[in-house]
Amino acid sequence: MKKAKNESVIIARHINAFLNEYVPSQKSLSSHTLKSYQYALSLYIGFLETKKGISAEHLCGGCFSRNIIEEWLQWLMELRGCSPETCNNRLASLRAFLKYLGNREILLLYLFEDATRIPRKKEIHKKIKGMSKKAVHVLLSITDLSTKAGRRDLALMIIIYSTAARIDEILSLKTKQLHLDAQKPNATIIGKGSKIRTLYLLPKAVAHLKKYLKEFHGDTPNPEAYVFYSRNTGVYGKLSQTAVNKQLKKHARAAHEMCNEVPQDLHAHQLRHAKAAHWLEDGMNIIQISFLLGHEQLQTTMIYMDITIEQEFKALATLEDENDKKIPKKWKNAKGGLARFCGVKSIKK
């Protein structure tokens, strides 16, 4: 084999450093993100080697050109059967590497800039199947409390539903993040981007969590122990999402026989979505819901909850004071000119 060129060595070193040093050091990134980056780069390098005939000595900046990346995306869809969503995730991972590469090799920064111009594949929005309050009640009442696993699953479902936190946020929760004896019991959640938010817990959730902690962690829980841990690795190993969703489906199938509104293919995300929908039904301020969900943008909450235009007006109406509700909506009154119609300041000069 010919000796690899200097540029080949530089790029290979950066790939290795990106995956083994840079990404793991970013506390805001989960293990799932690292695996996603690893897999995407593996797929891309495999594509270069098997489909483009690129060998080690010929690896260069040009191998990451826009044209080749677009060919790769087409290959993912047509030959590997990847969905548009998966292709977009793979592209995002590759862009993350190219940004890292460009920041360290200024002559290769153009690769990241070109990659940002590649349009995302059009995704088909999948509506999350909702769950009524009745369905949630039946689900929470179906677990077998005579077993240790059943008691754990009930505590887990209750905290997921009561906080509407992401499943990874719940599974990453350590005992020191639960403040059950505070004046206002709460859980400190570390979300995406290491952003912290406080989620208050109602008495029912507090009672179940206290019983759970006593049984599974003893009278003096280790502050660094995961609240919901894997029995294979012990208190310092997180329970996996795969294991959680497997248990949820088992409980859902049993609950479905009593209430057909319970989806048999239930997953943790549906409990989060259900709680958000129920908050909205109860008239909670949409800004509060957005904060509790850990969304940076209100529009993300609107899309996440699949809120229609008509529902959006109702949701935004929860932001108004009772006095404000008596004020006619500016966009419904065409009198007074375009600026007034659009609810903006009139500037005619």
Q: Which amino acid is at 236?
A: Y
How buried is residue 284: exposed, middle or buried, by Cβ count under 10 Å (0-12/13-18/19+)? middle
Q: Does a structural domain hold residue 341?
A: no
CATH number at residue 222: 1.10.443.10
Collapsing DSSP states into helix, strand and coil, what is residue 316?
A: helix
- What the block records as the tokens of 116 is 């940002």
- Residue whose token pair is 């850990």: 294
What's residue 174's pLDDT? 95
**pLDDT tens digits for range 175-228:** 999 999 999 999 999 887 778 888 989 898 999 999 999 999 999 999 999 999
Task: Give the C-alpha separation, 307 to 291, whole Å.
Answer: 17
What's residue 254's pLDDT? 93
Q: Does a structural domain hold residue 306?
A: no
Q: Does a structural domain hold residue 327?
A: no
Asked whether the beta carbons of 212 and 170 are under 8 A apart, the reply is no
What's residue 58's pLDDT? 87
For residue 337, pLDDT over 60 is answered with no
Same domain assignment for residues 154 and 74 = no
**pLDDT tens digits for range 13-71:** 999 989 888 988 874 556 677 888 999 999 999 999 989 988 888 889 999 999 999 99
What's residue 309's pLDDT? 42
Angle at 306 between CA 301 and CA 308, to 5 degrees: 105
Q: Does a structural domain hold residue 20?
A: yes
For residue 335, pLDDT over 70 is answered with no
Neighbours of 149 (CB within 10 A): 12
Task: Give the C-alpha separation, 155 to 210, whole Å.
Answer: 9
Quote the domain boundaries for residue 10: 6-115
Q: How far is CA 196 from CA 83, 179, 185, 225, 295, in A?
A: 33, 15, 16, 19, 12
Angle at 205 between CA 150 and CA 138, to 5 degrees: 55
Same domain assignment for residues 158 and 270 = yes
For residue 349, pLDDT over 80 is answered with no
Neighbours of 343 (CB within 10 A): 10
Q: Does a structural domain hold residue 219?
A: yes
Q: What are phi and psi of 210, to 5 degrees?
A: -65, -45
Neighbours of 14 (CB within 10 A): 19
Give the rounded percent of residues in the chain with a pLDDT score beyond 70: 81
What's residue 341's pLDDT? 37
Q: What is the mean pLDDT of residues 304-313?
A: 51
What's residue 153's pLDDT? 94
Q: Identify the residue with better confidence: 1 or 15.
A: 15
Asked whether the beta carbons of 183 and 298 are under 8 A apart, the reply is no
E strands present in the chain:
178-179, 186-190, 196-200, 229-230, 234-238
Question: How many separate domains does the chain show?
Answer: 2
**pLDDT tens digits for range 226-236:** 999 998 889 99
For residue 339, pLDDT over 50 is answered with no
What's residue 331's pLDDT? 44
Q: Does a structural domain hold residue 68?
A: yes
For residue 171, pLDDT over 90 is answered with yes
Asked whether the beta carbons of 110 and 101 are under 8 A apart, the reply is no
CATH number at residue 64: 1.10.150
What's residue 28's pLDDT? 52
Q: Identify the residue with better confidence: 314 or 125.
A: 125
What's residue 311's pLDDT? 47
Same domain assignment for residues 70 and 191 = no
Query: Can you give the length of the chain in residues?
Result: 349
Same domain assignment for residues 10 and 94 = yes
Q: What is the mean pLDDT of residues 253-266?
A: 91
Q: How far is CA 48 from CA 7, 60, 116, in A?
A: 16, 11, 20
